[in-house]
Structure 1
Amino acid sequence: MTRKYEKLLVLDIDNTVFDWVSYYVACLNELFSKVEDITGVPVAQQALESKKVFEEQGSIEYPFLIQELPSIAAHYQGDIDRMLSEAVEPGRLAFKDMAQKHLTAYDGVLETFKTIKDRWPHFPIIALTDAPRYVAMWKLNKLGILHYFDALYGLSDPRIPTDPESKKVKVAPEILYKHLQQSAFDFKGIVRTLPEDYEKPGTRGLKTVLMDHDMEGHFDHVLWVGDNLRKDVGLGRSLGVRTAWARYGTQIEPEIKDALLQFSPELNVHKNVSLDPKSDASPEPDVILDSFSELVAAIDKLI
């Protein structure tokens, strides 16, 4: 039987196509600073309380963080509407403004995507991420590269917070509408929301991608790219697909890494960033990338 696709490129997103750590630390610190200016709740207190929220949500990218912090709730004494208008909305805008400055693709990403599409126009490019589906699409859309992907696979979208006593939704109506609308940002490709237990380094997420694209049994024609040796390279090696390690994505300034750990549990951080250097026990990739631009040569070499 003829296969639908001859080759397949599957990409991680965070720290593979853009510097997630620098972006997220800058944006969340700006959010905390804005909320401190408004409420007087110190940044350090907000960061500390964020750890528990992120643990409960199972994701460090939870867009309804501020309204879930106990110190903020106590400040507004149950006045949800005032909290949303006075603190949450200005905080959201502060995060968004900082994202405009820091949410940028790595050098060579746009040119590399164009080259791949020109040379292999029928070669699907797939995004496989542990980020929530909506958050992943939002980032790729902001980066201006969503249209280069033929499919996106992400985890469940964020839970909508409600007040446990009044049962009132703690999200402004216009923001709630955007999330419930399940915006696809005019994306023409396949979108699949995976169960939480499909998170990497489990194999079921990548297996789903391979099944959907008729590549089972043809793993030598699949290139899987990610920055995390344990989660990404280890996953690829366990399935037998060709694996490229985005080593450039592990080059994080120590002060930025320390800032990240101030507001996120280390377990959650490992979902988004590789904190450990390469060791003798690390799985070996088929190729090491020191820039995204080297991806074209890796495709030629490996698949």
Structure 2
Amino acid sequence: MKRLLICDLDNTLYDWVGYFVEAFYAMADEVVRITGCDREELLDDFRDVHRQHHDAEHPFAVLETKTIKRLFPGKNSGEIAKIIDPAMHAFNSTRKRRLALYPTVRSTLDQLREHNIRLVAHTESKLYAVVDRLTRLDLTPYFSHIYCRERSASIHPDGTSSSEYLSQFPMRKVFELSHHQRKPNQDVLLEICEREGAHPHDAAYVGDSIVRDMMMAKRAEVTAIWAKYGTRHDRDAYDRLVRVSHWTPDDVARERLLSREAADVKPDFTLEHTFGEVLSVIAVKQVN
């Protein structure tokens, strides 16, 4: 039986693409309705802001777009935020409706915890987005530690500081990784195992990406469990994500190189349909 299970989050425990794309475009379309701006120019601006911050989820990115700055000269971010508040509401309401755990995730996490399997989260999403999703989905109690990318240099337009925003979250659990500590760098995974007091052979990693998650796990000699169910995205949704993504030409080139390197990578186990299949992989007997 494995003693440490390291879990990717986005598209492994919930459908990140499905929720985020719908919420983002609901917001963008509402901005267009409010301001009358050109939609394609606005989307170009979003892409530029996302690239600047290396993050498609940069907080309040709309306030940094050239379009919004041009339309509201002389107004500060708080004033602009009030004008386009319906757009923020559109994002939040869509997120509330669309963000949900995949089937069997919670019951599976419960069983893993009951069998004293140490659970750790590892994601390339940045801190604020991770805190938001883990809190909304009530996942924080399951993880002994959470490894994520370092927080964005951003504050709420009403002046709320990061310390206020994070005050209700158990930050003692969090380790923020730099932009350079990226998947599929096996050293990051080996450091996680060392910090958690587990030999790599006693650990397993579950994630949806062959290129990033499985190749990293195989290189670290950690059991590689592929969440294949998390790769089944609507093509239109994925194309809409790429339209505003933070991926630069260099990122695309890096991804192509990694894809070639991962061509022969084969996971140790594959979860075809649900996260619950991980129970048999790490030898946890299911309870009826």
What TM-score, normalized by structure 2, do the two folds share?
Answer: 0.88
Q: Map of 1:1-303 to 2, 5 A cutoff? A: 7-80=3-76, 81-87=78-84, 89-118=85-114, 120-121=115-116, 123-160=117-154, 171-173=157-159, 176-177=160-161, 179-181=162-164, 183=166, 185-187=168-170, 190-215=173-198, 218-266=199-247, 281-290=263-272, 291-300=274-283
Structure 1 pair 205–64 and aligned structure 2 pair: CA distance change class (3 A): farther
Q: Secondary structure at the match of 2:170?
A: coil
1:16 is matched by which residue type in structure 2? T
Report the CA distance between 1:90 and its aligned residue. Answer: 2.9
CA distance change for structure 1 residues 157 and 74 in 2, over 3 Å: closer, same or farther? same
Instruction: Decide whether aligned partners of structure 1 residues 265 and 186 sit closer, same or farther in structure 2, where only a CA change above 3 A counts.
Output: closer
Displacement of 1:265 in angstroms is 4.3
Distance (whole Å) between structure 2 residues aligned to residue 189 and residue 117 of structure 1? 20
Task: Tell me, in whole angstroms, the C-alpha distance in 2 between the residues paired with 1:75 and 1:13.
Answer: 37
The answer to whether the 8 Å contact 1:233/1:243 transfers is yes
The answer to whether the Cα contact below 8 Å between 2:56 and 2:244 also exists between their aligned partners in 1 is no
C-alpha distance after superposition, 1:33-70 (max 9, x if no partner): 12112111233222111111111101111112111100
How far 1:286 moved relative to its partner? Answer: 0.4
Shift of residue 180 of structure 1? 3.4
Distance 2:15 2:282 in 1: 22
Q: Secondary structure at the match of 2:176?
A: strand
> Which consecutive segments of 4 or more residues in structure 1 shift more than 4 A?
265-270, 276-280
Per-residue CA shift, 1:111-151, capped at 9, x if unaligned?
11111112x13x21000111112211211111122211111
Number of equivalent positions: 278
Q: Percent identity?
A: 23
Q: Give the counterpart letter for 1:135 in structure 2.
A: A
Instruction: Name structure 1 gaps, 5 residues minimum.
Output: 1-5, 162-169
Q: Quote the offset at 1:285 in angstroms.
A: 0.6
**Cα deviation, residue 205, structure 1:** 2.6
For residue 187 of structure 1, report the CA deviation from its aligned partner: 3.5
Give a deviation string over 1:225-252, Cα, whole Å, max 9, x none.
1111011000001111101011111101
Give the SS at the match of 2:121: strand
Give the partner amino acid of 2:221. G
User: In structure 2, the residue corresponding to 1:10 is in which secondary structure?
Assistant: strand
8 Å CA contact 2:27–2:87 kept in 1: the answer is: yes
Task: Compute the displacement of 1:267 (Å).
Answer: 5.1
Give the Å deviation of 1:282: 3.9
Alpha-carbon RMSD = 2.7
Secondary structure at the residue paired with 2:153? Answer: coil
State the Cα deviation string for residues 234-290 of structure 1 (Å, max 9, x = none): 0001111101011111101111111112211445998xx99x999992411100011
Spell out, residue by residue over 1:73-105, the C-alpha distance to the aligned partner (whole angstroms, 9 max, x if none). 100013124312112x33222211111111101
Aligned partners of 1:112, 1:299: CA distance in 2, in Å? 12
Using the alignment, how far apart are the partners of 2:102 and 2:172 within structure 1?
Answer: 23
d(CA) in 2 for partners of 1:267, 1:222: 34
Please, what TM-score do these two structures have when normalized by structure 1? 0.84
Equivalent in the alignment of 1:164? none
Question: Distance in 2 between the 1:30 and 1:147 partners?
Answer: 31
- Structure 1 residue 181, shift from structure 2 partner: 2.5
Structure 2 CA distance for aligned equivalents of residues 288 and 228 of structure 1: 12
Determine if contact 2:126/2:149 at 8 Å carries over to the other structure: yes
Once residues 230 and 15 of structure 2 are traced to their aligned partners in structure 1, the CA distance between those partners, rounded to angstroms, is 7
- Comparing 66-75 with 190-199, greater Cα deviation is found at 190-199
Offset, 1:16: 0.5
- Helix, strand or coil at the partner of 2:205: strand
Deviations 1:195-216 (A, max 9, x none): 111111122332221121122x
Secondary structure of the residue aligned to 2:174 is strand
Deviation at 1:296, TM superposition (A): 0.7
